[in-house]
Structure 1
Amino acid sequence: MISEWQNHKTQLRGYVSQRIDDDSAVDDILQEVYIKASGNLHQLKSRGSLKSWLYRIAHNTIMDFYRERQQFESLPDDLMAEELDTGKEAREELAQCLGPLIDELPEKYAKPLRLAELEGVSQQRIAEQLGLSLSGAKSRIQRGRVKFRQQMMACCDFEVGQGGITGYTPKDANHRKKCKSP
């Protein structure tokens, strides 16, 4: 390998120095090319392709050199906070609409849905409070969710993104009034 390396070293030096703007790094890159080539000699398919193989290693090493040197601007600290807030305002406004929309549901669906979704009461507890069986309470909550979803889709147009709902527009003036903050 050493004799073959000596035959190609001068040409490789020229190749590297034409592509590197830092003269002090040329010898370091050549040394790295030699180390990579001698360590991976078993991958060389034929002696006739040694020259092109060495140039490929040199090219990749040069690319690695520039990747390591590449300067990156640090991101502003508040960038992450802005990204996380996407749609937060819309969700807060939308939450103000939920109560009035749930109130428009028939009482047998509105009460269990309000307890489950807005107050966080367990389904077992809802069943006990309303004098229903557990399966009856679950059924009313599920039906309430379906009716509530239909109502939401009828009253508002939603913009949905990766983080969920990012915006909405009430379809008529009645719902627009209900959704405004008090």
Structure 2
Amino acid sequence: MKFDSSREMEDCNIFEVWENYKAALYLFILKRVKDQDMSKDILQEVLLKSYQYCSKGKTVVYLKSWLFKIAINTIVDHLKKENRHEELNGELIEEERSESLAGEASLYIKTLLKLLPDDYAKPLEMYDLENISQKEIAVKLNLSLTNTKTRIQRARTKLKELFLQCCDVSFSENGEMVSFDIKPHCKELQAEKARLEKIF
């Protein structure tokens, strides 16, 4: 899929954009280090690192994704200092590096799920967010296993459609999401964004 090349390069004035991203960055960090004080320290370090880079007059490719990559690298550094090596397996680090922007987008999944019919939202929430097996979901919801799998698959499709309706999304040539912005008309996600920002 082609993406809008006019949006590839962004001015690197970090203090102008920091308010837009700091809440999502904080939650992204907190989910991984599970410590509020450490998360705040890491967040401040991300701000410092990004400012030091931007102060040299450089331009950033995909600003939002770039900030999350800085956050990932800083998380890794802090976990190493804390000797929490069991949380630093290569697969996890690689996954976080490649899906950092998707991690930010996932903050809004629960809000989007509320917009789906319950028949689709509930199985997907149980499977993806609560880590319940498809067999258990089938029993709990009194569905056949085949029906459960079908509903989860359709729910994912509907969720993706909702996300694309609510957000302006850009993709790289290899299909990876490189940026997303919530559209003004999507009141539910705008409200969730405002709620997240109030954390600070």
Instruction: Give the TM-score normalised by the residue count of structure 2.
Output: 0.44
Greater RCO (CA < 8 Å, at least 6 residues apart)? 2
